[in-house]
Structure 1
Amino acid sequence: MDASSTRRLAAYGLCVQDRAVLLVQVKHHDGSRSWTLPGGGVEPLEDPFDTVIREFTEETGYTATVHRLLGVDSRVIPPGESWRRVAHQNIGIFYHVNIMSGALRQEANGDTMDPTWVALDRVAELDRSSLVDVGLQLFRNRPVTGHVASVPIGGPIRH
């Protein structure tokens, strides 16, 4: 990786209950908002397994347990579409999580807001990160490879 690119390793939790998925909103650098999965960046020396549990709790108020690994996704955001104006690679590790305890609440002093249960049949209507679609494909299809095809960006789907 050179100075003209960046990389981020992140872990995301997909929680589905009663035909609804738990999503959070993020505010982008341009002021717009979109829906995404609870999760976030893996800290130095942190295990991604621990990251997803930590981030899920921080962003939703629920304590979760990992049910299973769903898969890994790598996507590159071209320089012209990245807010950093350099090519950016996001490597996401997706886990199926179950809620153990807690209560739904806003993240304190964080980048995410409005944790909300969204009916699975309403997700396609949302302005959302492609991470949502990747996570749901991994959850529904459970590919042996842990990999699904790239999600096209456009319309309500963004990087």
Structure 2
Amino acid sequence: MAAYAVVERRGKILLTHWRRGHLHGWTLPGGGLESGEDPRDAVVREVLEETGLEARVGKLIGVDSRVMVREEVPADKDPELHTIRIVYRATVKDGPLQHEIGGSSDEARWVPIKEIRSLRTLSLVQTGLRMAGIGRRPGQQGGKSGGKSGKSRK
């Protein structure tokens, strides 16, 4: 189980660059819960670790459930890995971005919403933006997420 933040500021979204071996892509800040940890606390911890920014967790905007296929699952994990991803809106205090050292991400960046589609992103980014209602045309409805979606790893 993991928890993530959709952080929007002045037309930009806070993203982190996830890397595991040769696999990589941009994703939302967040990650796995520690034993007994509240998902909101996990978001605060993960945002700080991955970006250096203090987060304030807002509204729960969705839960995404998916089963990853073998080629998406790291070799040291069960090939039938089922992920539950809890997504919140959040805000962060102003400050310089700091890249995580020795963790699952290697860069943090504010990305203009219009440029996100041009990046190599994990499916969680589009899932989170859809949950938050970001980037939709007027009148377009949000969709439910779940099942097999894109190539997400985090």
With the shorter chain as reference, the TM-score category is 0.7 to 0.9
Distance in 1 (CA, whole Å) between partners of 2:5 and 2:123 is: 14
Q: In structure 1, what residue type is equivalent to 2:3? A: A
Unaligned runs of 5+ in 2: 135-141
Superposed counterparts of 1:23-38, under 5 Å: 23-29=15-21, 31-38=22-29
Equivalent residue, structure 2, for 1:60:
51
- 1:73 lines up with 2:64 in the alignment: yes
1:132 to 109, 125, 133: 125
Q: Point out the structure with the larger strand share.
A: 1
String of CA shifts for 1:93-152, please: whole Å, max 9, x gaps: 0010001254311113212111001110111111111000110000007xxxx9723474
Cα distance, 1:79 vs. partner? 2.4
CA distance in 1, matches of 2:7, 2:54: 12
Q: How many residues align?
A: 142
Q: What amino acid is the match of 1:15?
A: V
**Structure 2 residue aligned with 1:12, among 1, 4, 10?**
4
Displacement of 1:28: 2.4
Q: Say what the alpha-carbon RMSD is for the aligned residues.
A: 2.0
For 1:92, the equivalent position in structure 2 comes to 85
Shift in alpha-carbon separation, 1:78–1:101, aligned structure 2, 3 A: same
In 2, distance between residues paired with 1:54 and 1:101? 17
- Give the whole-Å Cα distance in 2 for the aligned partners of 1:78 and 1:66: 31
Matched AA of 1:18: R
Cα deviation code 1:23-71 (max 9, x no counterpart):
0101123x13200111010000111110000000110010010121111
Match of 1:4 in 2: none
2:87–2:128 CA contact under 8 A, matched in 1? yes
Change (3 A) 1:114 1:81: closer
Q: Which runs of 5+ in 1 are unaligned?
A: 1-8
Q: Which of the numbers 9, 13, 27 marks the counterpart of 1:21? A: 13
Give secondary structure in 1 for the equivalent of 2:109: strand
SS in structure 1 of the partner of residue 116 of structure 2: helix
* 1:148 alignment partner in structure 2: 144
